[in-house]
């Protein structure tokens, strides 16, 4: 029973979860706990801890680890929200609307400057989306938006619609590389959010129990760590975005094969086919009557031997 229980507990901790969520959460609560102990005095806290029986220490340590783990799973569920905030998907109310407009205008001006400079053109496609109306308010948002728009600009593929269907067909080695790149992005995002929370909660605790300069130090330290973590998230976006581009560039035909749709014979035909596929999966039907013919359903007498065997199976 203990073996099965231990195996069940260990199964909750994947390596990615421990590195990207659990350890940053542990550091966050260690920082909060250190402030609480500092408010009572480290020597007094040490004497109080040493006087406790060993059973109490084990129970307290177990409860602390259980709380960190519980909080980690709650935090993991909210991490996509933190990433969207870092991208610039802010609430549609003031002062967020004003801040989004100011930052978007600044990034749009930089995008226009880079697009007109031949020396910066290669960097432009990594840093910004091709169209100015797609510019986001943050650097991280623009890097990810550029990767998202790559398939749309090249092949008329709706990335949001097609990506979940394509992802399950990618080779294992490619998925492993994609997961490693995403783990770095998740780690930096988690550090950004938790450091921001510490910059808010730490000064409150310090202001109540400690001198005023401790609150200033907590705020400055938390804000600096959050900013450095955000810069790390931006850097982590580049390899992740490149892999997203590569997935569509190299493996988009796998989705057509799996759906038993014929691959197009020209670049123009491919763009028209993916446009109609996006209409089918997004709005429920292609553009009739010509759009249905562009989906790529094969004629029975033109099926390859491999495709026929798939149909028979």
Phi, psi of 261 (to 5 degrees): -100, 145
Report the pLDDT value the prediction gives residue 214, as an integer from 0 to 100: 82
Report the pLDDT value the prediction gives residue 9, as an integer from 0 to 100: 40
Report the pLDDT value the prediction gives residue 32, as an integer from 0 to 100: 87
Task: Find out whether 32 and 201 touch, Cβ atoms under 8 Å.
Answer: yes
Would you give the distance in Å from CA 132 to the centre of its chain?
A: 23
Report the pLDDT value the prediction gives residue 99, as an integer from 0 to 100: 93
Per-residue pLDDT of 180-225, as tens digits, reads 999 999 999 999 999 999 999 888 888 877 787 888 888 999 999 9
Task: Find out whether 278 and 161 touch, Cβ atoms under 8 Å.
Answer: yes
Report the pLDDT value the prediction gives residue 132, as an integer from 0 to 100: 87
Report the pLDDT value the prediction gives residue 186, as an integer from 0 to 100: 93
Report the pLDDT value the prediction gives residue 117, as an integer from 0 to 100: 74
CB atoms within 10 A of CB 204: 13
32-55: buried (b, 16+ CB within 10 Å) or exposed (e) per residue? Answer: beebeeeeeeeeeeeeeeeeeeee
Instruction: Domain ranges for the chain, please list them.
Output: 14-88+138-252, 259-313
User: What is the CA angle 124-126-129, rounded to 5?
Assistant: 70
Per-residue pLDDT of 138-151, as tens digits, reads 999 999 999 999 99
Answer left, alpha or beta for residue 94, where phi above 0 means left and psi between -120 and 50 means alpha: beta
Between the alpha carbon of residue 276 and those of residues 148, 159, 247, 267, 286, the distances in Å are: 19, 14, 20, 15, 5
- The low-confidence residues of the chain, meaning pLDDT below 70, are 1-13, 42, 45, 299-313
Query: What pTM does this model have?
Result: 0.83
Task: State the Cα torsion 289-294-300-302 to the nearest 10°.
Answer: 140
């Amino acid at each position: 029973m203990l073996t099965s229980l231990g195996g069940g507990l260990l199964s909750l901790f994947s390596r990615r979860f421990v590195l990207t969520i659990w350890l940053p959460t542990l550091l966050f609560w260690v920082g909060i706990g250190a402030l609480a102990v500092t408010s009572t005095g480290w020597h007094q806290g040490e004497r109080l801890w040493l006087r406790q029986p060993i059973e109490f220490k084990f129970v307290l340590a177990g409860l602390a680890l259980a709380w960190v783990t519980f909080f980690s799973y709650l935090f993991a569920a909210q991490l996509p929200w933190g990433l969207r905030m870092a991208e610039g998907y802010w609430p549609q109310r003031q002062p967020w609307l004003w801040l989004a407009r100011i930052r978007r205008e600044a990034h749009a001006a930089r995008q226009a400057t880079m697009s007109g400079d031949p020396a910066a053109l290669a960097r432009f496609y990594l840093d910004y989306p091709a169209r100015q109306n797609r510019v986001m308010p943050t650097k991280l948002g623009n890097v990810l938006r550029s990767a998202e728009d790559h398939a749309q600009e090249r092949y008329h593929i709706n990335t949001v619609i097609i990506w979940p269907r394509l992802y399950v067909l990618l080779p294992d080695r490619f998925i492993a590389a994609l997961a490693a790149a995403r783990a770095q992005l998740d780690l930096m995002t988690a550090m950004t959010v938790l450091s921001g929370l510490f910059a808010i909660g730490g000064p409150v605790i310090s202001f109540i129990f400690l001198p005023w300069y401790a609150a200033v130090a907590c705020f400055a330290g938390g804000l600096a760590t959050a900013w450095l973590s955000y810069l790390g998230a931006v850097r982590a976006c580049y390899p992740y975005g490149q892999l997203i581009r590569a997935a569509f560039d190299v493996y988009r035909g796998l989705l057509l094969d799996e759906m038993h749709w014929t691959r197009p014979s020209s670049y123009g035909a491919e763009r028209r086919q993916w446009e109609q596929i996006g209409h089918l999966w997004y709005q429920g039907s292609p553009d009739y009557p010509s759009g249905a013919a562009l989906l790529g359903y094969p004629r029975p007498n033109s099926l390859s031997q491999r495709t026929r065997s798939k149909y028979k199976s």
